[in-house]
Chains A and B, each alone.
Chain A
Amino acid sequence: DAGVTQSPTHLIKTRGQQVTLRCSPKSGHDTVSWYQQALGQGPQFIFQYYEEEERQRGNFPDRFSGHQFPNYSSELNVNALLLGDSALYLCASSSATGGGADTQYFGPGTRLTVL
């Protein structure tokens, strides 16, 4: 049973560029959440997708956008990259019918470096 997968593993971009990160959820999961983890910090919630719609959003600017596809995979897009966007971007999947815990399982992350 494959867990949550993310691509690419590492990415280097320059300021002002745009980036797209990809996530495939764990088998049987239909909900995808994205988090940003700066070095030495805990993950910060960006947004969550369910049924191809953004269901909840954290305190991130509109430069951060996403998409969920019919097969439940998801993309995170970041426009006009800033140096401060350098971080580990984590995807977590869960099941909307998995009971009250809605337990989230994380992928290995994509490490983005903005120069």
Chain B
Amino acid sequence: QKEVEQDPGPLSVPEGAIVSLNCTYSNSAFQYFMWYRQYSRKGPELLMYTYSSGNKEDGRFTAQVDKSSKYISLFIRDSQPSDSATYLCAMRGASGSARQLTFGSGTQLTVLP
């Protein structure tokens, strides 16, 4: 079983819809949680990061972390065709040997105009 599980999709929604992307994990040592967006054949672009449990909002994006359930989410409001990409969740521990990022396999999102 992988340390980080992510629904690969593909997910297709109409423009303006609210999108929910999710990951579950098994390693309780993870404390930093990130969401990256990756366009086709490009490098991942950092969208948001969150430390420990809680919510964080940035424009149309909201990240949620529930450490008790080992579950993280990314919500995209008023989705746009330009949001069409693969979304990767990533996480890591606090320090020392835990600096490496562990990624989910990515969810491919298409927003239809």
Contact = CB atoms under 8 A, between A and B. Distances in A.
Contacts of A105: 46
Interface string A102-115: 11111111010000
A100 B51 contact: yes
Given A41-B105, A42-B6, A100-B51, A58 B44 contact: no
Contact of B100 (A48, A88, A90): A48
B110 to A, nearest CB: 15
Nearest to B8: A40
A92 B46 CA distance: 11
Contacts of B102: 45
Interface of A: 4, 6, 33, 35, 40-45, 48, 55-56, 58, 88, 90, 92, 100-109, 111
Given A104-B101, A107-B43, 11 more contacts: A40-B105, A41-B106, A42-B6, A42-B104, A48-B100, A100-B94, A102-B99, A106-B43, A106-B45, A106-B46, A109-B43
Interface of B: 4, 6, 8, 32, 34, 36, 41-46, 49, 51, 88, 90, 92, 94-95, 97, 99-106
